[in-house]
Chains A and B, each alone.
Chain A
Amino acid sequence: MPKVAILTDSNSGITQSEGREMGIRVIPMPFRINGVDYFEDINLTQEEFYAKLKEGGDISTSQPSPQDVTDTWDELLKEYDQVVYIPMSSGLSSSCQTAIMLADDYDGKVEVVNNQRISVTQRASIRDAMLLAKKGLNAKEIKDKLEADKFHSSIYITLDTLYYLKKGGRITPAAAAIGTLLKIKPVLQIQGEKLDEFAKARTIAQAKTMMINAVKNDREGRVSENGKYKTVLQIAHSDNLGAAKVFAGELKDVFPDVDDIEINALSLSVSCHIGPGALAVAVSRVETE
């Protein structure tokens, strides 16, 4: 049974200390704010980030440097036989593509998972990977299993404001579709590789109902296939913990069979595009113990 290391990036929302506790490694995502480079959770906290975002700072994200990626792999391979690397969705960043290319030189010792997850659904994948490694699967088998579940998750996010989405200009299809004059709470969906508009609401209350209905449909339908597979529900937010807690309570009323709904902060790479005050709910198919 090979000894497999699990590696992800900070888009998963897993902090450095959490990673240590879980026994996995987390590559920090680099940010450039007003011309200065930062690394998520290394020399940039959530609080600092939101303060700079609200000040209107010029924030850009980039992928981890290839050097950092291969250095981490090399380091892990001293202790492990194989590495499974789960980077953020290839639909939202080219870091996955870069990693796949870099892994070519590692003779199958490093497997890069292209399962198009981000934030809390990426986090769910990490847990699956850990479970599968524990069950004795090798890196390639783990990668194949995770990729087979690529479309068995979705995230719905309600934005408090369109401001950041418009400003970033990066998520153009969504931004273009909702480029309107009115005050609207857009509900976005991340499923597979794209972040796109799902619906629009006039109020948060209405948006929450839309997200709950959508997640309920997905959960019963393609994610669990009528209860055949195990699922998890997660809540994510950007600097909006109070609302997230209230939302968790509301979700528990709708899904009495779900015992635990985890709340996590959205990764900063997502937050910098959608701004603070966002609220999200995700459903993912997960491995059983």
Chain B
Amino acid sequence: MSANTIDVALLKKMFLSGAKNLDNNKEYINELNVFPVPDGDTGTNMTMTIMSAANDVFNLENPDMVTLCKSISSGSLRGARGNSGVILSQLLRGFTKVAKGYDTLDVAILSAACDKAVETAYKAVMKPKEGTILTVARGIAEKAAELFENGEEDINAFYQACLEHGQKVLDSTPDLLPVLKEAGVVDSGGEGLLTFLRGAYEAFCGKEIEFSMDNDTKKKAETTRKLPTDQPVSAVPEDIKFGYCTEFIILLEGKVFNIQMENEFKDFLESIGDSIVCVPDEELVKVHVHTNDPGLAIQRALKYGQLTNLKIDNMRLENKEKVEKENAKAAETAAAPEEKEEPKETGFISVAAGSGFADIFRNLGADYVIEGGQTMNPSTEDMLNAISQINAKTIYILPNNSNIIMAANQARDLTEDKEIIVIPTKTVPQGISALISFVPEMSGAENEAAMTEAISLVKTGQITYAVRDTSIDGHEIHQGDYMGLSDKSILSNGTDLENVFEETVKGLVDDMTEIISIYYGSDVKEEDAVALKDKIAENYPNCDIDLQNGGQPVYYYVISAE
């Protein structure tokens, strides 16, 4: 195939094909994580970033170049999550800035667009790091410029050469970033970018792709967008896929319900519905599922024991009533003159995974807690949503994860009617301390300084398990090991959780430490946490020890020393 131009219809196909390819390979990209933590998610983040745009693009009928470019740019910008996602959205934004000025793209324009893409992305990152997606993008842009200067006009040859060079740069990322080398992986963001470009290339070559929003991705995107309360009701009954909200409790009465049975049961529930909750206790299992056939769920559950507290609601009918009621109410309020409440001075948005953490933040005055964290990076749009929910003149955002800060900054840049201050908290304990040190009487700038200062006084440790064998910072790590991570490195690893915990604490505490906070996760029993706390209290008699239920997934313990 040889061609000298790409028109708008082809560009649309290429974009969708690239998005699809990213989606197909996201799991592989997820695994290219330096730290073998169970929640590496570069692939998911990049996919969700691009899917947000792909959905808009897919629905465009015979767009012109300007419309298509706008759709790609704004869709990915709003859907951006995670650092790689934000960078990808900036690359697309830069690329489309150039592309939208033409009806068809040739090598000269493509090369200029690549250049603009890289320039835009570098600007969006405060401290650009080499050996990442940025390096790969820059390598491609440089190759593109070189090819153009050498008089290449055939896009096929041009594209192939760019891809090949991109792969070369990607393969060299471990030489630029020692952590990659030690972990034996290439940069995951760079891999994601190439995966996208390869998908786009396939469409260029004429391969027909069937683009549809993958259910899983869509569902995931929707759940994070969902608001905890006061969600305006707009869903029509047809939107409900599974109609019966089914809840019951299984009484175990001494019968065994082990993890394997739990997983089997969950799998079964997943095959008949969604919104599944299945929480086993020692004596009972609490079950919640949305399904079209509650009978199946009940029948299956009877295998494990007697049932009690059964409740089945028809959500389609309820929703219809609710919508009617809301609409009536909306009509009423629309008729009445709108009374806008005076905005308060300050509001706070915090990101956290785990009900305990969410409670702590709310208790400390957070107006809105976005569910998310390492496992699920909220998107720029999630942030914008939260911002729109808070009627305040100034809103502080605590991202509480290094991979969420950029999405927060992007939300800040997209907000015009409120002052947004992003406090670059990288861990939940940093967020807690920053929020605590807010002083209502001080100005925004003074608070920003004070809260940022508070971050620097917090050292955070997190304990999780390794998903593969690797070696980092001289630590030989085996799959299934417990690992204690500090803000920057691995503090300890091993097969004994208690040991790893103690070693991690030791790595965090110094002479200046006054308080050690321990937040235990959803997979930890309270009595185990209390026992560990008592041990720590004994080892560090000069420190205050604070034990809290963080309820976070994946991380057994989050620890901070201040």
Spell out A's residues near B (CB within 8 Å). Answer: 180-184, 198-206, 210, 214
| Interface residue from B432, B439, B454 paired with A182 (Cβ < 8 Å) | B432
| B515 with A202: CB separation less than 8 A | yes
User: Chain A residue with minimal CB distance to B363?
Assistant: A180
* Nearest chain B residue, comparing its CB with the CB of A187: B439
Q: Which of A181, A202, A203, A210 makes the CB contact (< 8 A) with B360?
A: A181
Alpha-carbon distance A128/B447, docked complex (angstroms) = 36
A205 to B207: give the CA distance in the assembly, Å. 65
Ranked 4 nearest A-B pairs via Cβ: A203-B514, A183-B546, A199-B439, A200-B436
**For residue A210, which residues in chain B have a CB less than 8 angstroms away from its CB?**
437, 439, 450
Q: Is the CB of B432 within 8 A of A200?
A: no
Q: Does B457 contact A (CB under 8 A)?
A: yes
Residue on A nearest B549 in the bound complex, by CB: A181
Chain A proximity mask over B542-557: 1 for CB below 8 Å, otherwise 0: 0010101000000000
Taking a contact as CB atoms under 8 Å apart, the answer to whether A206 and B544 are in contact is no
Whether the pair A206, B512 counts as a contact (CB closer than 8 A) is no
Chain B hits for A202, CB < 8 A:
432-433, 436-437, 454, 457-458, 514-515, 562
Q: Which of B364, B437, B544 has the most CB of A within 10 A?
A: B437
B73: min CB distance to chain A, Å: 42
B342 within 8 A of A: no
- Counting chain A CB atoms within 10 Å of each CB, the highest count among B436, B458, B515 belongs to B436
B546 A182 Cβ-Cβ under 8 A: yes
Docked CA distance A203–B548 (Å): 17
Q: Could you tell me the distance in whole angstroms from the C-beta of A217 to the nearest C-beta in chain B?
A: 9
Q: Inside 8 A of B544's CB, which chain A residues have their CB?
A: 183
List B residues at the A interface (Cβ < 8 Å): 359-360, 363-364, 432-433, 436-439, 441, 450, 454, 457-458, 512, 514-515, 517, 544, 546, 548, 562
> In the complex the two chains form, what is the Cα distance from A248 to B514 in whole Å?
20
* A-B residue pairs in contact (CB < 8 Å), sample of 27: A180-B364, A181-B360, A181-B363, A182-B363, A182-B436, A183-B515, A183-B544, A198-B439, A199-B437, A200-B436, A200-B437, A201-B437, A202-B432, A202-B436, A202-B454, A202-B457, A202-B458, A202-B515, A202-B562, A203-B562, A205-B512, A205-B514, A206-B454, A206-B457, A210-B437, A210-B439, A210-B450
Are A203 and B441 also in contact (CB < 8 A) when A181-B360, A181-B363, A182-B432 are? no
Supposing A183-B546, A210-B437 touch, asked if A203 and B359 sit within 8 A by C-beta, the answer is no
Contact yes or no, A182 B437, CB < 8 A: no
Per the bound structure, the CA–CA distance linking A245 and B359 in Å amounts to 38
Residues on B with beta carbons closer than 8 Å to the beta carbon of A198: 439, 441
With contacts A181-B363, A200-B436, A206-B562 known, what are 19 further pairs, Cβ within 8 A?
A180-B363, A180-B364, A181-B359, A181-B548, A182-B363, A182-B546, A183-B515, A198-B441, A199-B437, A199-B439, A202-B433, A202-B457, A202-B562, A203-B457, A203-B514, A203-B562, A205-B512, A206-B454, A210-B439
Specify the main secondary structure of chain B where it touches its partner. mixed
Chain A residues lying within 8 Å of B436, measured Cβ to Cβ, are: 182, 184, 200-202
Q: How many A-B contacts are there with CB distance less than 8 Å?
A: 54
Contacts of A200 in B (CB 8 A): 436-437
Separation of A182 and B518 alpha carbons in the complex (Å): 11
B432 to chain A, nearest CB (A): 7
Contacts of A214 in B (CB 8 A): 439
On whether the beta carbons of A203 and B515 are closer than 8 Å, the reply is yes
B398 CB, nearest partner CB in chain A, Å: 15
Q: Which residue on chain B has the smallest CB distance to residue A180?
A: B363
Chain A residue nearest to B429 (CB atoms) is: A202
What chain A residues lie within 8 Å of B548 (beta carbons)?
181-182
Highest count of chain B CB atoms <10 Å: which of A180, A184, A199, A202: A202
Q: Is the CB of A182 within 8 A of B514?
A: no
B281 → chain A closest CB, angstroms: 23
Q: How far is the CA of A202 from the CA of B360 in the complex (A)?
A: 14
Kindly state the separation between the CA atoms of A19 and B450 in the bound complex, as whole angstroms.
Answer: 42
Chain A residues within an 8 Å CB radius of B360 = 180-182
Cβ–Cβ contact A204 & B364, under 8 A: no
Determine the distance from Cα of A110 to Cα of B540 in the docked complex, in whole angstroms.
58
What residues of chain B lie closer than 8 Å to A184, measured between beta carbons?
436
Provide the bound-state CA to CA distance between A183 and B433, in Å: 11
B457 CB contacts on chain A under 8 angstroms: 202-203, 206
A183-B363 Cα distance, complex, nearest whole Å:
12
Closest chain B CB from A277 CB (angstroms): 12
Closest to B560 in A: A202
A141 → chain B, closest Cβ, in Å?
A: 34
* A198 CA to B438 CA, complexed, in Å: 10
Closest CB of chain A to B445's CB: distance in Å? 14
Whole-angstrom CA separation of A214 from B450 in the bound complex: 12
B562: A residues at CB distance < 8 A: 202-203, 206
In the bound complex, do residue B441 and residue A182 qualify as a contact, i.e. CB atoms below 8 Å apart?
no
Residue of B nearest to A214 (CB): B439
| Least CB separation from B433: chain A residue | A202
Bound Cα distance A214, B446 (Å):
12
Find out whether the CB atom of B439 lies under 8 angstroms from the CB atom of A206: no
Q: How far is the CA of A181 from the CA of B562 in the complex (A)?
A: 17
Residues in chain A near residue B437, CB distance under 8 A: 199-202, 206, 210
- Inter-chain contacts of A205 with B (CB < 8 A): 512, 514
Q: Give, as a whole number of angstroms, the nearest-CB distance from A103 to chain B.
A: 35
A residues near B458, Cβ cutoff 8 Å: 202
Give, as a whole number of angstroms, the nearest-CB distance from B348 to chain A: 13
The residue in chain B whose Cβ has the minimal distance to the Cβ of A213 is: B450
**B357 CB to closest chain A CB, in angstroms?**
11
Residues of A within 8 A of B438 (CB): 199
CA distance A201 to B436 in the complex (A): 6
Instruction: Give Cα distance in the complex from A1 to B544, angstroms.
Output: 59
CB distance from A226 to the nearest CB of B (A): 19
The CA of A220 and the CA of B436, in the complex, are separated in Å by: 26
Minimum Cβ distance to chain A for residue B358 (Å): 12
CB distance from B444 to the nearest CB of A (A): 15
